[in-house]
Structure formats: C-alpha cells, structure tokens
Structure 1
Amino acid sequence: MATRLPKALLTTLALLLLFATTATRPTVHAHTGLSTPCGRYQSAAGCPPPPPGQAIDYDINSPIGSNLKINQTLCKSSIPYPFESRTVYKAGDTIQTAYSLGSTHGGGHCQWALSYDGEKTWVVIQTEIRTCLQTTPDMQGSYRIPVKLPADAPSGNVTFMWLWINAIGDRELYSNCADIRIEGRNGGSVQGVAPLIANYGPSNPHFPEFPTAEFPDGHELFATRQQVTIMVKGSEGGAVDPSQSGVALSPKAANQPNSA
C-alpha cells in the first residue's frame, strides 16, 4: 500500500527543489521567446529584417518587467513590420507557435491575444494555466504550442501577442509580438477577455512562485478578466487595406496595464 507523504514534507521537498534549481541558474539568463510566428525583430532564420531605423533584437527572450519594475512595453518594440513582411493566416487557422530554446522556469501561465488597433486594445484568444512550456522541445530545440485563430476573425493587419508568467524564478512577465495578416470576413467583431497583466511593476498583480500544485498559482485571477468586444470596420470591396485594418472599440481600462 502506497504511503502518502505529509503536506508539510511535500512543501519542504518542493522548496529544496526550487533552491537547487535557482542555485544552479547561470548568470547569463537564457529565457524563452516567440520564434514562430516571427517575434518583432527576431533574429531567427526566415524572419524578415527589422523595419527601417530598427535593429535586430538579440535580447528578445528577456522579460519585459518584474513585480518590482517595468522594463519595456508589452510588445517590447512599438514599430510594426510593414504590410508586405507580415505572415498571412486565414481566420480559423491553427498557428503552430514556437518558442526558442532557453529556460522555461518550470512552465507557468500563457495568454495569446490579438490587437487590430496598434496595440491599444487586446482580446485574448487562448489561455494555458500552469502547464505552459512544460512540454519537451523538438529536434530543433523549440517548444511548440498550437494556437487557434477565431473562425470569424475579420480581415486586417493584426498584432499577435504572447504573454507568459513564469512559475519558478524571479517574478517576471515575458511578452513578444508578431505582426501578422488575417484573411477572414470583411469587418465584424472578436469577443473575449482582456489579458491579465501581472508581475509587471508594483501596481499590477503579483504572482509568487508556484513550483508545484502545493503552491497557490493565482489561477483564480484569470476568471476576473474583463470582457472585451473588438469591432473592426470592413473595407470597401472586402479587400484588406494595408494602411488601415479597422478600429477596435473596447473599455480602455480592460486593456491598459498600470504603468506605475
């Protein structure tokens, strides 16, 4: 008959495991970043060169902030790729997202979101709680996670964002954005929730480490995300306009993280 270990002992063992992991952490942090679709200014093979005046982001895997401070904006870089450099997907497609090999910090929480208005308004299209990036990397050293685009997504130039709250290590928030084009219906709406922004400065929620199921992981906060509806204007003739993909409307508070 199996012996059930006391909860206190399990907690102690988890803390010892956490200590061993963090004690051997290299001083040069090898984190994880979005490589497919190409994160903005990504150096990976097959990714387009940065827009004029911008440089390759060789630190694309680094966090954008921690529970103590904000280092960068949600997309890290605010200048998008031009129309002709964007990867094209059809509404309803499943994107086989890939993440470069690095430290996955015990997994954690991931969210994927879309913006049609230049990163002012976001709507989450997929969430993975606790188990994100806990899979085994493939032969190319990448982690792959399928993310399905809404079947009724309107056509337009879209920013595709990945957010990650790591389970183990410094309390950080990771984010990369990819500039894509969606071919779907001519105008319409996308409904969902606003992203949960955490470990991003002292004014946003703080998630402590959660190395095992014995530790609280803050999953209940995901149920408090505000509902969002993005309305996208159709274009005359149904074609995608390279300069204007639509206007997104949503309660501002639902998408703007605290900046202090």
Structure 2
Amino acid sequence: MLRKSILLIAVLQLAALIAHAHVDLTKPCARYSSAPGCPPPPAGQSIDYNTNAPISSGGINTQPLCKHSVPYEKRTVYKAGESISTEYGIGSAHGGGHCQWALSYDHEKTWVVIQTEIRTCLQGAVTGQIVKIPVTIPPDAPSGDATFMWLWVNSIGIRELYSNCADIRVEGRDGGSINGFEPLLANYNATYGIIPEFPNPTDPDGHELFDARKPITITVKGSGTGAASTPDPSSSSKPNKNVASGRRDHLQSSMLFISTAIMLSLVSLCL
C-alpha cells in the first residue's frame, strides 16, 4: 500500500512538471503561441504548444533562435520610444537569471540588443504567475517590419537558454540606425560557452560576458516598407550561426511522449 502511495505521488509530481514547464513570452505574442488572444499561425504552420521550452539544454542547441522562421501575417505596431509591457507565463522560473531583448530588421540575420537585465530577471516569480516587464523601443528606431526577441539564461537548474520571437512593426524615423550590442547566446553551443548555476549572490554569474558583447550598428534603409538592415562593418562579429537552419525541434515532443509513457506505466502499477 505504501509503495503504491509513493508511486502515485511520483505520478502527480511528474504530471505537474509536464503541465508547468519553464517560461514563455505571451505578450507580444510569440510566434504560433497558444496563449489566449494570440492570432492563428500563418497558413501551413501549426500552433506551438511548447513555446515555453528552452532552445538549448546542457550547451546543445535544439532549435533556432526564433523556433519558427515564418512570421505572423499581422504584426503588432509599436512607436519608437514606446515602452512595451511585455508579459511572461511562468511554469518554472528557475531562480530568475539574465534576460536580453533584441530587434532584427532583416529576418533574424542580425540583431541589436535594446535592453538587458542581469541576474534579477524573473527572480521570485512563481508557477502560474504572469510577470510583466517594461521594454522600451529605442527612440531613434527606424520604421519597418521587425522581429522582437526575448532571451533568458536561467539561474538554477540544467544550463539552458530560452528564446521567443514576436513579429512587430516599428513606427519611427524613415530610415536610420540603431547602435547597441550583439546578443550573448550563452548556453547555446560551444561557441558561446556555458554560464554555471548562480543561485547565491556571490556565485559567478557570467556578467562579464555581457560586458564583452560586440558592438553592432543596424542600419535600415528609408523606404517606408520592406526595411533591410546591415551590421556596421567596423564593429560586427562573425555571422550568427543560430538562425541558419529552419529545422524544427522534436526533442521536447519526444521528452513529453516519454514522460507521458512513464506516467501511464506508474499509474498502472498503482492500480
């Protein structure tokens, strides 16, 4: 009887883990998000029920940065200088960590970071909570279709990198440039290195890696539509290797299938 009770508790804990995994961007809507109020995916695409899953685990990347390469047909419009009240659905906040927000005007080829929060991002968040974080579009941001990206390096747990992308349109100047830094893709692959866990205030947290991010200038041609961007030749780094593939990740689905099979097996033992 005791053994069955222990197994049943394990089943319930596993079910809770499956149902409340990790964190995702819910406002603006991440691509193909299942969050209430988000638009349906573009033609030929499917709702992503795993937008809260990491794009890398243990330093092995399993998905491209935006997870999906086909943008939404309808974009959320923001004005240059506007503060976006971004929102995040919390499954497990892993002690908080480092967040970066970035813009791309050239279909995710080049990125410029517009805001960074070191160590305290999502800190103290609890399961089921919706966390709001204001993110400001630069006042000098040019007009054009853009991709808005959120990146998160978790503080506690398996070394992971999380990312979601939202399709927006910026209303600002007709052409111009944004100066900033390239995103740090820590924990993504061997190129960028691993930031170890940092649950305690005195633990090394890799903040110096953010200080060493390479400068970049994103230049957008003044056309009103069809904006394009180029990195500053004098300051840009190597091409971003993390956007090249359009391959979909099946790892999360496989893990969910395996976890579900284990759960059903445990249930049968309890009966």
TM-score, scaled relative to structure 1: 0.82
Aligned amino acid, residue 52 of structure 1: A
Change (3 A) 1:55 1:184: same
Matches within 5 A, 1:46-195: 46-82=37-73, 85-136=74-125, 141-195=129-183
The list of structure 1 runs, each at least 4 consecutive aligned residues, that deviate by more than 4 angstroms after superposition, is 24-27, 135-138
Structure 1 contact 121–250 (Cα < 8 Å) conserved: no
Distance in 2, Cα, partners of 1:255 & 1:93: 30
TM-score, scaled relative to structure 2: 0.79
Structure 1 contact 122–255 (Cα < 8 Å) conserved: no
Over the aligned positions, Cα root-mean-square deviation in angstroms equals 2.0
Q: Percent identity?
A: 59
Provide the aligned length of Structure 1 versus Structure 2: 227
Q: Corresponding residue for 2:237?
A: 253
Structure 2 contact 59–194 (Cα < 8 Å) conserved: no
Give the deviation of 1:205 after TM superposition: 1.2
SS in 2 for 1:253: coil
For structure 2, the 5+ residue unaligned runs are 1-12, 245-271
Distance in 1, Cα, partners of 2:43 & 2:17: 33
Q: Corresponding residue for 1:221?
A: 209
For structure 1, the 5+ residue unaligned runs are 1-23
SS in 1 for 2:86: strand
Aligned amino acid, residue 180 of structure 2: G
Structure 2 contact 105–145 (Cα < 8 Å) conserved: yes
Give the deviation of 1:250 after TM superposition: 3.7
Distance in 2, Cα, partners of 1:248 & 1:102: 37
Give the deviation of 1:248 after TM superposition: 2.7
Distance in 1, Cα, partners of 2:84 & 2:126: 17
Structure 1 contact 137–144 (Cα < 8 Å) conserved: no
Structure 1 contact 62–174 (Cα < 8 Å) conserved: yes
Q: Corresponding residue for 1:11?
A: none
Change (3 A) 1:99 1:255: farther
Structure 1 contact 233–245 (Cα < 8 Å) conserved: yes
